[in-house]
Structure 1
């Protein structure tokens, strides 16, 4: 009797895991089916049922808006869910431990790579910064993490790959890592401690997404993934719709000559202008990439549009306002100048090699 009772929880647990795996498989197949039928669906709606001409401005604009909205939402749901589940295995304490005791330089490289693996949005910039500094991670290394985390966005990587191919996506990741590593190292050489608010060094704020020693089941991890999908979609949907709407407007109505004249290949200051325009804006990679795709299709050079995108996601005005809580104006201005210089240089480099 004891043996039977001991086996029951194991059997129930096994059935629960199998049922959970089956539900995930069904959800994955449903996601794939929706992604595959997206373009035929909007072809039917816009061109056949609504009777719009595929070559017309209105028809192409409506199709762009509907198709890209569904495509990007599906990609966001899939990517956020997978990344969140993967990230549940890495707490902020573990992240700090990975960077502790390393020499600057190598630590900057590790921090930039960790920033890619643990992407935080701009609203998390201050807690992440305080947690790393309070744990004894050098400021320059912390700044490498802080730059890489929003700059090299997993959504942007996947969408860039889908829009422009592996070469562009790889160049985006590589340039972002170089910017974050070099910028953090340079900032660490100027003794930035004097320009950091004193409370940062004595704070005990941790803010880890997963507590140290916490054991999560796969059901827990998928529940966290679902919650993160809902939370992020609630935050980004206005910017997503605005970005896609601007892309559809440009796609259908704005003449290509306008963008070629302002930021085309013949304008030697195009990357500089793109960064100057991008810094005051606030969006994320999902919201800005539809606009990037359209601007490139209209003739704007790839380096210029990527410089614009990087400036929007890495140097957004709301993030800088948040960082002002922990960085004094001299360090904040230096931070912006160093990162902006790296982004502008990347824009010129991409324009030269692509």
Structure 2
């Protein structure tokens, strides 16, 4: 009952965000129609909106995640053949709570459990890039069609990239200590969760995930507000417009040194789209920031040789560029 009441209050507050934010900004000593006014309206509305959306999505997926564990995930993927295994791994990546920060223990656990290298990479690509937070926020901010297409292309990219890496048979390019790890039988916990347990899991997920990333979300919204209020439309059109063939690979290269989670980069994506940037170019930028960030490469360096990291980054970057061009062609 408490959970149902809280969800009802959530919807009541969410429906009042637009008029409340408009009233609040109008009460500020800001000149209507100025750059500062546009930036303030974006920030005051988007900050609570994105945080509330993320809280609801994380709570729901926290309940779903109570059906999974690292051991159960390894058991589901171990022994799968390429192709089917890549598809299963990519789909599991959408619904399981693993991101690049947990790549090292997961990678070792997957390899030691007999999961093929390519299947493991499909999971590691899909988990941060096509996660439930990104999809939930994309759906709320830009519509279900774009969110569904992002899901489809993201899963395809994860499956194909993992399959290609698997076909190259690069197991020898793992660090030696990883190759020496031996599998140990994983005892799966009994599925004895009650409804109350799953609700508690959702609450714990909100405390953990939202508690850790809310600052980055606010920073991302602030960046989006600056873009929305101050960056000229012509400048963005010149850099990220549909007519420039070089814009997609350029933003992928720009995104690699950066680091942000999906929730933090979505407000920036929204602001860029509002300014007229090409959809495929913006999504390519988002994918590169999430899936190919330099901090993630540093983490993976603990288990992968530089050659394998280069192959991984090259295959994924090529797929992201292809997705960017395809979105631009479809929405031109």
Residue in structure 2 matched with residue 33 of structure 1 by the alignment = 12
The answer to whether 1:290 aligns with 2:276 is no
- What's 1:14 paired with? none
Q: Is the CA contact 1:275–1:344 (under 8 Å) kept in the aligned structure 2?
A: yes
Report how far residue 52 of structure 1 moved.
Answer: 4.1
Equivalences for residues 176-187 of structure 1 within 5 A? 176-187=154-165
Q: Which of 88, 106, 111 is the equivalent residue of 2:89?
A: 111
Aligned counterparts of 2:15 and 2:180: Cα–Cα separation in 1: 52
Deviations 1:54-104, CA, capped at 9 Å, x for gaps: 532211211111110100110111111110111111222222222233321
Write out the 4+ residue segments of structure 1 that deviate beyond 3 Å after TM superposition.
51-54, 201-206
Q: Which residue of 2 aligns with 1:340?
A: 317
- Equivalent of residue 58 in structure 1, options 4, 19, 36: 36
Q: Alpha-carbon deviations, 1:194-228, whole Å to 9, x = none?
A: 1112322444799x9x9622522333222222222
Aligned residues: 330
Is the counterpart of residue 193 in structure 1 residue 159 in structure 2? no
Distance 2:210 2:294 in 1: 21
Deviations 1:240-266 (A, max 9, x none): 122111111111111111111112122
- 2:243 corresponds to 1:266: yes
Structure 2, unaligned runs of 5 or more: none
Residue in structure 1 matched with residue 213 of structure 2 by the alignment: 236
RMSD, aligned CA: 1.8
Mapped pair 1:353 → 2:330: yes
Task: Output the CA distance in 1 between the equivalents of 2:111 and 2:3.
Answer: 39
Establish whether residue 99 from structure 1 lines up as the match of residue 83 from structure 2. Answer: no
- The 10-residue stretch of structure 1 (79-88 or 95-104) with the greater mean CA deviation from structure 2: 95-104
Aligned to 1:5: none
1:223 to 2:189 alignment = no
Alpha-carbon separation, structure 1, partners of 2:179 and 2:9: 49
Structure whose CA Rg is larger: 1
**2:122 and 2:159 in contact (8 A); partners too:** yes
TM-score (norm 2): 0.95
Task: Answer whether contact 1:175 1:346 (CA < 8 A) is retained.
Answer: yes
| Rounded Cα–Cα distance in structure 2 between residues aligned with 1:130 and 1:222 | 31
CA distance 1:205–1:299, shift in 2 (3 Å) = farther
Q: What is the distance in 2 between the residues matched to 1:103 and 1:338? A: 21
Q: What SS class does the counterpart of residue 86 from structure 1 fall into?
A: helix
Would you say the 8 A contact 2:79–2:116 is kept in 1? Answer: no
How many angstroms apart in 2 are the aligned matches of 1:32 and 1:156?
A: 20
Aligned to 1:167: 145
- 1:266 partner SS: coil
Is 1:156 aligned to residue 131 of structure 2? no
Give the aligned partner of residue 256 of structure 2: 279
Q: Calculate the TM-score normalised by the size of structure 1.
A: 0.89
Change (3 A) 1:211 1:62: farther
Quote the residue 1:253 is aligned against. Answer: 230
> Structure 1: any 5+ residue segments left out of the alignment?
1-21
Deviations 1:103-162 (A, max 9, x none): 211111111111112141211111111111111010111111111110102111121112
Map of 1:145 onto structure 2:
123
Structure-to-structure mapping, 1:56-95, within 5 angstroms:
56-95=34-73
Q: Deviations over 1:247-286 (max 9, x none)?
A: 1111111111111111212211111111011111110111
Contact kept? 1:131, 1:204, Cα under 8 Å: no
